[in-house]
Amino acid sequence: MTSDLALALTNDMLWTAILIAAPVLGLSMLAGLIISIFQVVTQIQEMSLTFVPKILVVALTLIVFGSWMMQTLLRFASTTIANIPNYF
């Protein structure tokens, strides 16, 4: 395995991880921002108010994007496994 091949494999792995994590992290961050603005406007400082909507957003995001995430991960894994003979 050459260093160029290892670098390309690492690059593909990192981009796949970013693509899989981005919907969940982005939407949970957006939900947290909206909830924080709501708390500032209404002056409600209840800690449990932040957790329940974020958990619901993450669950809905996984339901909506879960199949796409799994397909992306399986595509990366199958490509990597299929190219094992090329690595040596």
CB atoms within 10 A of CB 70: 11
CB atoms within 10 A of CB 31: 19
| Residue range 61-87: mean pLDDT, rounded | 94
The per-residue pLDDT for range 3-38, each reduced to its tens digit, is 888 899 999 999 999 999 999 999 999 999 999 999
The pLDDT of residue 65 is 96
Average pLDDT for the chain: 92
What is d(CA 46, CA 69) in angstroms, rounded to the nearest whole number? 33
The per-residue pLDDT for range 39-53, each reduced to its tens digit, is 889 888 887 788 888
Q: What is the pTM of this model?
A: 0.78
Q: Can you give the residue ranges of every domain in the chain? A: 3-83
